[in-house]
Amino acid sequence: MRLWTDDIDGMRPEARQVVAAGMELITASLGMAGDPPEDLHERARFARAAFAGAFPAPEADGVDTEIAGVPCRMFRPEGQARAVYLHFHGGAMYLGAPVMNDAANAALARTHGLVVASVDYRLAPEHPYPAGPDDGLAVAVWLLEHAGEEFGTERLLVGGESAGGYMAAAVLLRMRDELGAADRVDGANLVYGVFDWGQSPSQRGMRASDGPDMLSPEANQTMGDCYLPGLTLDERRDPSISPVSAPLHALPPAFFSVGTADHLLDDTLLMAMRWIAAGNEAELFVAPDMPHGFQAFPCGITTAWAQAFDAWLTDILDRPPR
């Protein structure tokens, strides 16, 4: 079993150089000088102030709206929509906003004819579990009931990055278990998600590659403490909290992506294998030596990832609905 091709293996020296140079720029752009506060609420506000300063300029086509009372940022294609993509942004469950993904979401609308609804779900520690997934499920329920009349298509996709990958998986599982509607979702794009809130080995620092990363064991600890206060690691592994611990039967085709230097590497590897073992279809893209958020580092490997994801999404949309 090989996790990447010889062609991608040959791109590793370039990738390491790009990551080393780019990580310094990204760290500087966040501007988080000094030690973070001890209090979780103050620490979250401190991090948000720095993180927001690194957001890209909003895309002109994006529209801020509400779905089921939940703020969302939406993109529509010029012609007939082929599907609705329910998207969740990253940010460790206490950072971030849909505008972070404006460029990628606008491109999905233009290139693939998707309506993109990116959910501005409530953030921890002010709103811990299950507030975020509750918001995501509320939007999903509305789309199940109204997407056809509102957007001209009932086809749904789900996806997200990092904490958003977790959100997409958690909401999809609740759509299956609470609504009996997993068969209404044609595909899941799960990008380096937090699938094990009980801290996988890579979350604790035991990674396959030792290169620089945007995450750390300390950052992962803060993430869990903000989102799941008062719960032990064993309690955080409950299937209702950690998707990797849940039964994974009767789910749609998925595209998993992760880098080997990512502190969430093991979450994706285990989730993808359990997804397939449960009888579902999945593709796995492993980016050697690449960190969390690897799309921010343009190189041959990220180009190969973009091509693989585009091919997967094209194939899903060309199929009849499930």
> Could you tell me if residue 20 is inside a domain?
yes
> Could you tell me if residue 120 is inside a domain?
yes
> Could you tell me if residue 40 is inside a domain?
no
Residue 39: Cβ-neighbour burial (10 angstroms; 0-12, 13-18, 19+) = exposed
What are 280's two structure tokens? 């579902």
Which whole-number Å values give the CA distances from 258 to 262, 267, 311, in the listed order? 7, 9, 17
Q: Could you tell me the pLDDT band of residue 33, with boundaries at 50, 70 and 90?
A: low
> Could you tell me if residue 90 is inside a domain?
yes
pLDDT digits (tens, 9 = 90+) for 306-321: 999 999 999 999 999 9
Q: CB within 8 A of 254, min separation 6: which ones?
A: 187, 188, 189, 190, 272, 275, 280, 281, 282, 283
CATH number (domain holding residue 237): 3.40.50.1820
Q: Is the pLDDT of residue 28 over 70?
A: no
Q: Could you tell me the pLDDT band of residue 61, with boundaries at 50, 70 and 90?
A: very high
Range in 36-50, 156-170, 203-217, 301-315 the model is least confident about: 36-50
Which whole-number Å values give the CA distances from 220 to 2, 58, 111, 138, 315, in the listed order? 28, 28, 34, 27, 35
| Residue numbers of the domain that contains 149 | 6-29+46-318
Q: Is the pLDDT of residue 194 over 80?
A: yes
> Could you tell me if residue 87 is inside a domain?
yes
What are 300's two structure tokens? 């041959």
What's this model's pTM, rounded to 2 decimal places?
0.97
> Could you tell me if residue 201 is inside a domain?
yes
pLDDT at 25: 79
pLDDT at 80: 96
> Could you tell me if residue 34 is inside a domain?
no
Mean pLDDT of 285-304: 97
DSSP 35: P
> Could you tell me if residue 36 is inside a domain?
no
3-state DSSP of 231-265: CCHHHHCCCCCCHHHCCCCCCCCEEEEEECCCCCH
How many independent structural domains does the chain possess? 1
Amino acid 27 reads: T
In sequence order, which ranges of the chain are alpha helices (DSSP H)? Answer: 6-9, 12-30, 40-52, 102-112, 131-151, 163-179, 217-227, 233-236, 265-277, 300-318
Angle separating helix axes 217-227 and 40-52, nearest 10 degrees: 110
DSSP 171: H
pLDDT at 148: 97
Peptide bond into 125 cis (omega under 30): yes
